[in-house]
Amino acid sequence: MPEGHSIHRVAKALTLAFAEPKEPHGKVAPVHASSPQGRFAAGATLMDGQRLAPAHAWGKHLFVPFEEDQRYLHVHLGLYGSWTFQADPRQAAKLPPVIGAPRVTVGEDQRTTGTAGDPASSSPKADPNAHEESWQWPEPKGQVRLRLANDYLLADLSGPTKCQILDPEGRQAIINRLGPDPLRNEPGDEDRFVKLVRAKKSPIGQLVMDQSVVAGPGNIYRAECLFRTGINPWRPGQKVSEKRLRQLWKDLVAGLADGFDMGLIYTRLPELELLEQAEPTRLVGQEVPEREERFYVYQRDGQACLKCGTTVKMEVMQARKLFYCPGCQR
DNA sequence: GATACATGAAAAG
DNA sequence: TTTTCCTGTATCC
């Protein structure tokens, strides 16, 4: 259950795990690919033995290029797909930090094996002869569509809505129908976002989740960013002022970047006054509270708005639950 | 054991 | 607008 920030993190994790040489001056080791579940058997065969190049994401789409072949693995997690990373507990010293972090996050679902919660203690000193024998990869748990593995790390993919091998044209066709990605934030993206929104009369709450308008945000960011910028989700795109849309773009940039850095969505600023600042405040570095205290409006329907006290509303928009404060968002 | 639900998107009607 | 697809977890009998 991932929004764009999770996919960018997975791209980074896959790159660190499978697209960077493990020894100085070494080559990238070929990846072992398989489909324990069987539903991606043909694709896994194509991938098995390939050297992988650095992965990248555009919105919620993940692309993993093959180094010596002009093709890509393309994955979209859909509503409940996930990646699970595991590491050889004896090789902790070689693990890239993004993998070693002791956390389990829905959607990317990273976890470490070995000493729970403390990767640093989990082993360089373990068994001096350990490296003599290769790591026994653990049995896949549940429905694993694709398993990627090398001598140190393993990534299991389950439940994706899309998992396929694409040629460059196939990849480009997907990117062509995506809007700007706030995590890429390239020159001109803000203008493109503003123009796309202002050309439509559908409600802004719908447009923020429309991947051809902006690629990355999902249901949580939609609710939270519209609250943070004080925009009513039912307001037609055309009728949102350019000023507010520029504010909204910048808020999405900051919000998704925070999600990327923290590995979870945390959007509720420590002080309400920070909401009024010209530039959005970044939350990375802050201590992360319990889930119930991370959001302003998401799943807070029936409770009092933290800013104005009005009861937070839940309505259904495009078959998804929409949360907002009718008092603050007009 | 059911059943409901989830951070999504495309196809079908 | 409704249905369909993909899976794991929580909650309720």
Which pLDDT band, with edges at 50, 70 and 90, does A98 fall under? low
Question: Hey, what are A312's tokens?
Answer: 């937070």
Last residue of a domain, one of A175, A201, A223: A175
Q: Please indicate, yes or no, whether residues A222 and A310 belong to a single structural domain of this protein.
A: yes
Task: Pick the closest to residue A47 from A72, A26, A24 (CA basis).
Answer: A72
Nearest protein residue to nucleotide C4 (CA to C1' distance) is A161
Q: Please indicate, yes or no, whether residues A204 and A285 belong to a single structural domain of this protein.
A: yes
Rounded to whole angstroms, the Cα distance separating A264 from A249 reads 20
Global pTM reads: 0.92
Give the structural domain span for A57: 4-175
SS3 category, A120: helix
Q: Please indicate, yes or no, whether residues A169 and A184 belong to a single structural domain of this protein.
A: no
For residue A127, the model assigns a pLDDT of: 52
Above 70 in pLDDT, residue A131? no
For residue A128, the model assigns a pLDDT of: 52
For residue A135, the model assigns a pLDDT of: 84
Selected residue with higher pLDDT from A123 and A69: A69
* CA A165 / C1′ B11 distance in Å: 21
Share of chain A above pLDDT 90, in %: 81
For residue A32, the model assigns a pLDDT of: 97
Which residues pair with residue A322 across a beta bridge?
A315
Condensed to tens digits (0 to 9), the pLDDT of residues A43-78 reads 999 999 999 999 999 999 999 999 999 999 999 999
Q: Please indicate, yes or no, whether residues A164 and A203 belong to a single structural domain of this protein.
A: no
Above 80 in pLDDT, residue A150? yes
The answer to whether the CB of A76 falls within 8 A of the CB of A178 is no
Domain of A188, CATH number, reads: 1.10.8.50
The total number of structural domains in chain A stands at: 2
Condensed to tens digits (0 to 9), the pLDDT of residues A172-216 reads 999 999 999 999 999 999 999 999 999 999 999 999 999 999 999
Closest nt by CA–C1' to A143? C7
Which pLDDT band, with edges at 50, 70 and 90, does A123 fall under? very low
Q: Note whether residue A330 is domain-resident.
A: no
Q: Please indicate, yes or no, whether residues A45 and A188 belong to a single structural domain of this protein.
A: no
Above 60 in pLDDT, residue A107? no
Q: How far apart are the first and last CA of chain A?
A: 29
Q: Note whether residue A216 is domain-resident.
A: yes
Last residue of a domain, one of A119, A148, A175: A175
Q: Strand B within 7 Å of which CB atoms in A 302-321? A: 319-321
Kindly report which listed range (A111-115, A120-124, A138-142) carries the lowest average pLDDT score. A120-124
* CA A122 / C1′ C1 distance in Å: 54
Residues A82-109 have a mean pLDDT of: 69
Rounded to whole angstroms, the Cα distance separating A47 from A33 reads 6
Q: Please indicate, yes or no, whether residues A64 and A206 belong to a single structural domain of this protein.
A: no
Residues A21-34 have a mean pLDDT of: 86
* CA A30 / C1′ C10 distance in Å: 40
The answer to whether the CB of A93 falls within 8 A of the CB of A123 is yes
* CA A203 / C1′ C2 distance in Å: 21
For residue A109, the model assigns a pLDDT of: 56
Condensed to tens digits (0 to 9), the pLDDT of residues A224-242 reads 999 999 999 999 999 999 9
Rounded to whole angstroms, the Cα distance separating A319 from A298 reads 16
For residue A87, the model assigns a pLDDT of: 87
Rounded to whole angstroms, the Cα distance separating A195 from A238 reads 9
Q: Strand B within 7 Å of which CB atoms in A 224-283? A: 264-265
Q: Please indicate, yes or no, whether residues A240 and A154 belong to a single structural domain of this protein.
A: no
Q: Please indicate, yes or no, whether residues A81 and A191 belong to a single structural domain of this protein.
A: no
Share of chain A above pLDDT 70, in %: 88
User: In strand C, which positions have an atom below 7 A from any protein CB?
Assistant: 2-3, 5-9
Count how many Cα atoms sit within 13 Å of the Cα of residue A15 in the half-sphere of its side chain.
15
Q: Note whether residue A329 is domain-resident.
A: no
The residues of A carrying an active-site annotation are 2-3, 60, 320
Q: Note whether residue A10 is domain-resident.
A: yes
Task: Pick the closest to residue A39 from A158, A149, A138, A148 (CA basis).
Answer: A158
Closest nt by CA–C1' to A223? B7
Q: Note whether residue A197 is domain-resident.
A: yes
Q: Please indicate, yes or no, whether residues A183 and A290 belong to a single structural domain of this protein.
A: yes
User: In strand B, which positions have an atom below 7 A from any protein CB?
Assistant: 6-10
* CA A141 / C1′ B1 distance in Å: 22
Last residue of a domain, one of A133, A152, A175: A175
Helix (H) or strand (E) holding A86: strand A82-87
Q: Note whether residue A207 is domain-resident.
A: yes
Q: Please indicate, yes or no, whether residues A19 and A153 belong to a single structural domain of this protein.
A: yes
Q: Note whether residue A196 is domain-resident.
A: yes
Q: Please indicate, yes or no, whether residues A134 and A244 belong to a single structural domain of this protein.
A: no
Mean pLDDT, chain A, rounded, equals 90
Domain of A18, CATH number, reads: 3.20.190.10
Closest nt by CA–C1' to A162? C6
Q: Taking the CA atoms of A242, A247, A252 and A253 in sequence, report the sign of the dihedral they define.
A: positive
Q: Please indicate, yes or no, whether residues A63 and A190 belong to a single structural domain of this protein.
A: no
For residue A132, the model assigns a pLDDT of: 62
Condensed to tens digits (0 to 9), the pLDDT of residues A32-45 reads 999 999 999 999 99
Residues A284-298 have a mean pLDDT of: 94
Closest nt by CA–C1' to A109? C8
